[in-house]
Amino acid sequence: MDIGGGNLLLSFYRGIEAYSFERCSNTMERNHLKNQKGVSLVIALMILLVLTLIGISAISTTTFETNIAGNERLYNKAFYTSDAGVDYFVSMGVSYILLPNSSGIVDSRTDGIPLGGDYFIVNWERIVSDFGPPKKYEFKITSQGISPSFPAAGRINIEAIVEVVDTTPPPEYPGG
């Protein structure tokens, strides 16, 4: 089939070669797209990264919550220690009526009150005295509860006004 002196034959073979090369390159592209051997590794690494970030976030949150719980425990210990100072002053209030001074300090450490390592300091001041029967006294008290702990100490102040009534009977009238 030599039409035109062989030019057509050459052209025909060139056309087949070009066609087969295009077909081969399209097939390679399709095979390359079908070849997904590394995709599962990439997906597994992405999932591992996400899970690692979630784990780090959970650890950070747990540490933060633990610190909050520790601070609240320290605050509660200091509050109840300070409240114990108010209760101690109220229970001993009558003994402060007889003191000549109008202010003072009560320290649980010097009074020998065991509070498990915690202590209170009560500052008191007599602000009103009513000498009518019965005798009444008002005290302004500030109780500071201290809960020493490492690295910081918890300190709570409670202020209160306490009324103390002297229940001792008045002396008998000498005139009869």
Could you tell me which residues come within 8 angstroms of residue 80 by beta carbon, excluding any fewer than 6 positions away?
145
Expressed in angstroms, the distance from the first to the final Cα of the chain is 163
Alpha-carbon gap, residue 98 to 105, rounded angstroms: 15
Q: What is the pLDDT of residues 99-157, one digit of tens each?
A: 777 888 999 998 888 888 899 999 999 887 777 777 788 889 999 999 887 666 788 99
Is 151 buried (19+), middle (13-18) or exposed (0-12) by CB count in 10 A?
exposed
Q: What is the pLDDT of residues 82-103, one digit of tens each?
A: 999 999 988 887 777 777 778 8
Name the token pair of 108. Answer: 């649980």
Helix (H, G, I), strand (E, B) or coil at 154: strand
Q: What is the pLDDT of residues 54-78, one digit of tens each?
A: 999 999 999 999 989 988 888 999 9
Q: What is the pLDDT of residues 20-34, one digit of tens each?
A: 555 555 555 666 666
Dihedral pair phi/psi, residue 3, rounded to 5°: -105, 125
Name the token pair of 103. Answer: 């202010």
pTM above 0.85, yes or no: no
